[in-house]
Chain A
Amino acid sequence: MGETVHGSLVPEWADLDPNVMSQPVKTIEDKWKLVPAFLRVKGLVKQHIDSFNYFINVDIKNIVRANSKVTSDVDPLFYVKYLDVRVGKPNIEEGMNISNDTAPHECRLRDITYSAPVMVDVEFMRGDHRIFRRDIPIGRMPIMLRSSNCVLSQCRSYAELAKYNECPHDPGGYFIIKGQEKVILIQEQLSKNRMIVEEDKKGSLTCQVTSSTHEKKSRTNVTMKNGKHYLKHNTLTDDVAVGIVFKAMGVASDQEIVQMIGTEDRIMTSFAASLEECARLNVYTQTQALKFIGNKVRQKRFFDRGPKKTPVDEARDLLATTILAHVPVEKFNFKMKSIYLALMVRRVIEAQGDTRAIDDRDYYGNKRLELAGSLISLLFEDLFKKFNSDLKKRADMVLGKKGKVSQFDTVHYMNSSQDSITNGLEVAISTGNWTIKRFKMERQGVTQVLARLSYISALGMMTRVNSQFEKTRKVSGPRSLQPSQWGMVCPSDTPEGESCGLVKNLALMTHITTEVDPEPIIELAFNCGVEDINLLSGEELSSRVVFLVFLNGNIIGVTRYHERVVRVFRAMRRNTVISGFVSIYTHYKHRCVYISSDGGRLCRPYIIVENCQPTVTEEHIKRLTRGLMSFDDFLHEGLVEYLDVNEENDSSIAMYEHEIERKTTHMEIEPFTILGVCAGLIPYPHHNQSPRNTYQCAMGKQAMGTIGYNQRNRIDTLLYNLVYPHKPLVKTRTIELINFEHLPAGHNAMVAVMSYSGYDIEDAIIINKSSLDRGYGRCLVYRNYKCSVKRYANQTSDRVQGPVMEVLEGGKQKVTWKHETLDSDGFAAVGTPVQPRQVLINKQMPTVTQLSFTNDQAQRQVSFRDTPVLHKGPGTTYVEKVMLSSDTDEFHLIKLLTRQTRRPEIGDKFSSRHGQKGVTGLIVQKEDLPFTDQGIYPDMIMNPHGFPSRMTVGKLLELLGSKSAALEGKYNYGTAFGGTPVKEIMEELVRHGYNYQGKDILYSGTTGEPLNAYIFFGPVYYQKLKHMVMDKMHARSRGPRAVLTRQPTEGRARDGGLRLGEMERDCLIGHGASMLLLERLMISSDAFDVDVCNSCGLLGYSGWCHYCRSSANVSSIRIPYACKLLFQELQSMNIVPRLRLENYCS
């Protein structure tokens, strides 16, 4: 093997034991088994669930603790103090103070929110008494499915989940709001509290820091302008010279400032001008500097409450709390902050003339992903603050009343105002509008309805990452594939079009960190040789012998032995002394050691390599397969560790065992895990042209198949199912891992790659009619119809009535056609076929619903009008089930599920797993189709022209693989960067007497002669896509017209006309087809006969001109109704359009 040769040649290897070196690194068989082990522990959507669990169990307590006290301005004795907060178990409040435990499926069916009460323990004053109360509900928190508070998290077996009507393969991680499944998409943004050096639009260098704490969010810039450095902040009206800011922070002497920034020649010369600027502005002391800054503070316009501060105080406050808000300032000790600022200046100077020092915004190490937990925590804190301020307002009002009749009842108030938190959360999740007042943040489209088109679409949605970048900007940077995306974000799975590259999907093994408490980490850092920054003067910072140590963007100290610090930290992490998600890496260019423990970092597990040997051995894998070890054991034993993007880029990671060199630190678990869920379905994706994989990622989500084991219990607005779905013959490891096999979406169709009949141009496919007869591509379409029976204010309510009878000539009674479907209870009977426009629910509504005060008992007789629910849409449908329930407002909720079985027809869309979509071009009788020596007739014929330009070699391999799998009676693997080797497949084909290239001799079905070419023939996994002709087909001769213009309505849903647009019109004009034009644009559209008076030119009415009061000159002409409308509208605006008629008849 190659390595051994290298080993003897490279001298650095000499110090290692030759015995060790001469051995090739043994490949670890089946190390991919770590991937399922990882997924068993982490699950596909663990990031969402972890994040939500962190919020619900930890963060919510922090938020309440931070806002724990509410006092009154009026009564100094009054206070409310929150002692603890808890989120309970999900339940439903059925009214009358009854609440029942609930399960997600009940919420889905009954259109209610799956939520749990948030309860607090409070201590408060009522009069002079101090009172403790426990478990006071303050609102309801929507519960993420499978989170720690969800009932499903307790389920251990399929049977238990089945009891809750839940599919075991459903990943969870979403919310149910009013019966709708909502996903909070992962939001990608630039990381907070980190310095980023950039070149701005004008070409000047800027060091930018976005500080974010619980209270404040602000952005601070240090820029270089005219050779001088300025501090830029949006609370300051003007840029302030950095020197002044230093002085304002108490670093008054120029020497001290320079020492902090750096005493190297280059740095000093570059900074000198900025110091001179201070002198030029006559700022020498701290007070002068503060005054200078104070005068530039932007005036806040609103609430000018509190005593007015002097500019000096204001500037000091600003520096302490707003500028670089994340750097702690205690008792106006600005030391940390000035050091931080100095470093920012230094970074700007270092980046001058050195493009390598400029940071990359798109680098994934500089990105953080915001998940459901952190987003809800932002929202909850806002709502909680509002809740408290309302409480305070209310308390002030009650306590401030003169008479002081009643005491303020805190508990009662809390009970009655639960809605503000409940609704706030519910509305935000159901609309996706995230409004956070204290950060002035407003974001749209944070949540989306979980797409339940297929299992894959639901899974794909859970791993979706949404970028904050605006879609309209035409910059390629944020959209293009970033090298640091490797292994974290799927390189294939992104939509085409406007959001290309902005919407991404996580790779299979990606994990997103949650926050880890930084205190013990600081402790550890000091214990292993980091010197506290507070103990140092400024000069040490820029010393060549030390490395700065950062924790989450804050400087905590310096160290002389950075290697030791990093080594110790990693050892501690591997021994699980500190959390496995703490990352540490050295940045040699910055001469810094960065430690991160914040949430939202992308990370993924790697096998640790020590002394050129992977620590994971075959023995470990054996124990793993036997179930003696779990993935967590691998972590605990220091065999595997998580690396985040920054640390990953500081490591040397071997892809395979034979690539391990001396400097190697880690090894990949499996290369196929760089792909995401959707791309994981593609067999042999590494043989395909890359855009094809991207297309398939989009199409896999439209494939019909199975939704989940509970699909028959669901009542969704639209649900597509395949009658006979297949497992793919060529599968991938990913397919097994995500259970696609158990919830498949497609068929293994026998495909002949040849041309046939000419109905197969432009990717159209030919289908065997007999295959369709036997159930190929047959699908079920479920659709629901909903209505609620409401009760109104005037004691009336909706009702559902039985069918209406009509009397036939012979005196016999017969149910009217529209009601033929109905049972006597007014609902369509289960199993009945329903024609379009027939009634499903015969609901009636009272004509008067308003409360009237005029009459009394006399008007008890209520009249009703029909408001039936009709079957819209094409084709006969069958009633599958009828559900009666009540929603939260105690209205009766009626849901009716209908079903259609559809057989593929010409125009239905199919696709293989390689981005090769096509519509059915022709359905051919079996006897007309070609057949092989073995008497095999194809299910489908695909035109070979689909291959050369698309270069989907993976599809060819899939066909070969499927063929051999079918012959052998097994499944082949087409796993990315692996899979069954083609050679093996070919050998199998030969063994079964087939051509090694998969090409067979076919006889024409029509002439009977053998075809002149060998035909590539075998099974390929085909997906049926949701686009079906039946849902799109539309034609109209006569039909409804719009009321206003009397022109035909628009759109298929309204049975609209087909528009002859302006370009089509131009063509007709060009042809001079004037009569056709007239016919299309007027006669067939909105022709209207008007009476025009030729003396005044205005429109008359039935032969009479109302203006002239005569019928003398009135003649009738035919114009478009829209034209007549225009005249009248112009008249209404005081413009008189007059018509002049000339007689053409004479």
Chain B
Amino acid sequence: MDTGRIKLEEFRLVPEHDLESPAKRSDHDGIIKLISMDDIDMELDFIGFNISLVNAYRRIILAEVATMAIEKVYMYNNTSIVQDEVLAHRLGLVPLKVDPRFFEFRNKDEKEWGAQDSVKYELKVRCSKNPQASDKETNPDILYKDRKVLSSSLKWMPIGNQTDIFQESSMQPLHDDILLAKMNCGHLINLEAYAVKGIGSDHAKFQPGLSWYRMLPEIKLVREVEGEDALLLQKCFSPGVIDIITNSEGKNVANVNDARNDACSRNVFQYDNIKDSVKMTRKTDHVIFYVESHSALKSHEILDEAVSIMIGKCDLLLSEIEKHLEMDADT
């Protein structure tokens, strides 16, 4: 995409050839700004990069960054009403705190569960009468103990030398309040589960988090909008996007404050009287990139992993070229 902007028209998006930008762009080629970051969320701006590069990172995060998830369940007893397959499926979707970087991918033909590639869990719950419950109690959640089987009941069982390397607190499920099953008095679940390292393209449970991006929205007021119309215009955009300021003539006019947070809902087109007053575009070379973690990896770690995967791919490509060149040299 060599055009700098995409115009948001009423019924379609139109690429717009920006005359000034190519020259300008070369000036600040490839700026990356980290807007915000915590363990879960991360927002950063890629400015002046081609969209396909950013997309590549997005795709790698979704498909190739590895995490740990329960893959195999040995069901010894399950008298709850949740079917074995469904329970196993639910277990698989439980995010674990286990750091995948300490583990290897498990060999498909492997029979044994090794300390280097798998994590063992155990779930042993029996629902029983709560002796503390009063006679008049009718709420089954109080009447019975362990009525709700939560992810916290998954117990880590170290394999081999895992106790030396890991602490229990870092091996448990990420959230301890995920409902796995509900049971009635006398029901019993006894199972063993093994988590392995895997990637998102294999199963969604291995996805480390979500990632997506959007292009920077830009809003330009083509003409002055004042009074009632200005208020209407303000409403058509996300909060904080349009300001009402009093201009030099003392009129209340609309002014673009910050287009970055606009949801690009294009609701101006609802109103014929103001729809011609704005020009909405999105900057193609300014991409706002989001990572949202829902696994053991923190948001920046996910991106970190994605980048190293990318590097790995590049290295592979380079080494392939190298090899070819060497072969050419040899012959």
Interface centre among A723, A771, A1009 (most CB of B within 10 A): A1009
Contacting pair A993 B238 (CB below 8 A): yes
A933 located at the interface, meaning its Cβ lies under 8 Å from any Cβ of chain B in the complex: yes
Closest Cβ of chain B to A1050, distance in Å, is 34
Note all chain B residues with C-beta closer than 8 A to A774. 93, 204-205
Q: Which of B6-14, B100-108, B144-152, B322-330 lies at the interface?
A: B6-14
Chain A contact patch, size range: 35 or more
Can you list, as one digit per residue, whether each of A877-892 has a CB less than 8 Å from chain B (1) or not (0)?
A: 0101000000000000
Residue of A whose beta carbon sits closest to that of B77: A831
| Contact (Cβ within 8 A) A1010 B215 | yes
Alpha-carbon separation in the docked complex, A1001 to B85 (Å): 38
Verify A933–B214 contact, CB threshold 8 A.
yes
Interface of chain B, helix or strand or loop or mixed?
Answer: mixed
Contact of B13 among A769, A878, A995, A1012 (CB under 8 A): A1012
Residues of chain B within 8 A (CB-CB) of A1007 are 51-52, 55
Question: Do A1013 and B54 touch across chains, with their CB atoms under 8 A apart?
Answer: no
CB pair B265–A995 under 8 Å, yes or no, is: yes
Given contacts A723-B86, A899-B83, contact A996 B267 (CB under 8 A): yes
B63 CB contacts on chain A under 8 angstroms: 925-927
- With a CB–CB cut-off of 8 A, which chain B residues contact A712? 81
User: Of all chain B residues, which has the CB nearest A1002?
Assistant: B13
Give 17 A-B pairs besides A773-B203, A775-B89, A926-B63 with Cβ atoms closer than 8 angstroms: A712-B81, A925-B201, A927-B201, A932-B212, A989-B265, A990-B267, A990-B270, A995-B265, A995-B267, A1001-B13, A1001-B282, A1003-B212, A1007-B55, A1009-B1, A1009-B284, A1010-B215, A1014-B266
Q: Give chain A nearest CB distance to B85 CB in angstroms.
A: 4
**Residue A1008 at the chain B interface, CB threshold 8 Å:** yes
B75 touches A1010 (CB 8 A): no
**CA of A886 to CA of B22, assembled, Å:** 86
Say yes or no for B197: interface residue by CB 8 A criterion. no
CB distance from B5 to the nearest CB of A (A): 11
Residue A935 at the chain B interface, CB threshold 8 Å: yes
Interchain CB contact under 8 A, A1009 and B51: yes
Chain A residues within an 8 Å CB radius of B264: 933, 1001
Q: Counting CB contacts under 8 A, is B113 at the interface?
A: no
Top 5 A-B pairs, shortest CB-CB distance: A1008-B55, A773-B204, A935-B212, A770-B204, A993-B263
Interface residues in B272-328 by Cβ distance below 8 A to A read: 282, 284, 290, 292
A994 contacts B265, C-beta separation under 8 Å: yes
Query: In the complex the two chains form, is A1010's CB within 8 Å of B292's CB?
Result: no
Q: Which residues of A contact B12 (CB under 8 A)?
A: 1012-1014
Centre residue among B58, B89, B210, B265 by max chain A CB count within 10 A = B265
Residues of B with C-beta under 8 A to A994: 263, 265
CB of A780 within 8 Å of the partner chain: yes
- The number of chain B residues with a CB under 8 A from chain A is 50
Contacts A927-B62, A1007-B55, A1008-B58: A901 and B267 contacting too (C-beta < 8 A)?
Answer: no
Given A935-B290, A1010-B6, A926 contacting B62 (CB threshold 8 A) = yes
B75 contacts A995, C-beta separation under 8 Å: no
| Interface check B130, CB cutoff 8 A | no
The verdict on B187 contacting chain A, using a C-beta distance below 8 Å, is no
| Contacts between chains A and B (CB distance < 8 A), count | 109
Residues of A within 8 A of B81 (CB): 712
The 8 A CB mask of A1004-1024 against B (1 = contact, 0 = none) is 010111111110000000000
A931 contacts the other chain (CB 8 A): yes
Q: Does B200 interact with chain A (Cβ within 8 Å)?
A: yes
In the complex, the answer to whether B86 meets A901 with C-beta atoms within 8 Å is yes
CB atoms of A996 and B13 under 8 A apart: no
**Does A831 contact B75, Cβ atoms closer than 8 Å?**
yes
Q: Please encode chain B, from 211 to 255, with 1 for each CB lying within 8 Å of some chain A CB and 0 for all others.
A: 111110000000000000000000110100000000000000000
What is the 8 Å Cβ interface bit string for chain A, positions 602-641, against chain B (1 contact, 0 not)? 0000000000000000000000000000000000000000
Report A711 CB to chain B, min CB distance, Å.
Answer: 10
Report how far A773 CA is from B264 CA in the complex, Å: 31
- B128: Cβ under 8 A from any A Cβ: no
CB contacts (< 8 Å) of B201 on chain A: these are 925, 927
The docked-state distance in angstroms from the alpha carbon of A932 to that of B13 is 14
For the complex formed, measure the closest distance between the CB of A1089 and the CB atoms of chain B, giving whole angstroms: 48
Cβ–Cβ contact A927 & B59, under 8 A? yes
Distance, CA A179 to CA B284, complexed state (A):
67
Residue B207 CB within 8 A of the other chain: yes
Complex contacts, A770 vs chain B, CB 8 Å: 200, 204, 207
Please judge, given known A-B contacts A899-B83, A1011-B13, A1012-B13, whether A931 and B212 are in contact too, CB under 8 Å: yes
Determine if B84 is an interface residue (Cβ-Cβ < 8 Å).
Answer: yes
Contact indicator B83/A927 (Cβ below 8 Å): no
In the bound complex, CA of A392 to CA of B81 (Å): 58
User: Residue B116 at the A interface, CB < 8 A?
Assistant: no
Q: B84 to chain A: which residues have CB within 8 Å?
A: 831, 878
On whether A1008 and B210 interact (CB within 8 A), knowing A935-B292, A990-B265, A996-B270, the answer reads no
Q: Does B78 belong to the interface (CB within 8 Å)? A: yes
- Measured CA separation A123–B268 after assembly (Å): 90
Between A and B, 27 residue pairs with Cβ closer than 8 Å are A769-B204, A770-B207, A773-B203, A775-B89, A775-B93, A778-B86, A880-B83, A925-B201, A926-B200, A926-B204, A926-B207, A927-B59, A927-B62, A935-B210, A990-B265, A990-B267, A990-B270, A995-B265, A1001-B8, A1003-B214, A1008-B54, A1008-B55, A1010-B6, A1012-B12, A1012-B13, A1012-B14, A1013-B13
Which of B78, B211, B236, B266 meets A831, CB within 8 Å? B78
The CA of A996 and the CA of B270, in the complex, are separated in Å by: 8
**Residue-wise interface mask of B (80-98) relative to A, using a CB-CB cutoff of 8 A (1 in contact, 0 not):** 0101111001000100000
Taken together as a complex, chains A and B put the C-alpha atoms of A901 and B85 apart, in Å, by 7
Determine the chain A residues whose CB is within 8 A of the CB of B62 once the complex forms.
926-927
| Most chain A Cβ neighbours within 10 Å, of B14, B75, B263 | B263
How far is B269's CA from A1014's CA once the two chains are assembled, in angstroms? 13
Q: How far is the CA of A926 from the CA of B59 in the complex (A)?
A: 9
Q: Please, how many angstroms separate the alpha-carbon atoms of A775 and B82 in the complex?
A: 14
| Cβ A1008 vs Cβ B83 within 8 A | no
B270 — which chain A residues lie within 8 A by C-beta? 990, 996
Within 8 A of A (CB), among B1-51: 1, 6, 8, 11-14, 51
Residues 773 to 808 of chain A near chain B (Cβ within 8 Å): 773-775, 778, 780
Contacts of B86 in A (CB 8 A): 723, 778, 780, 901
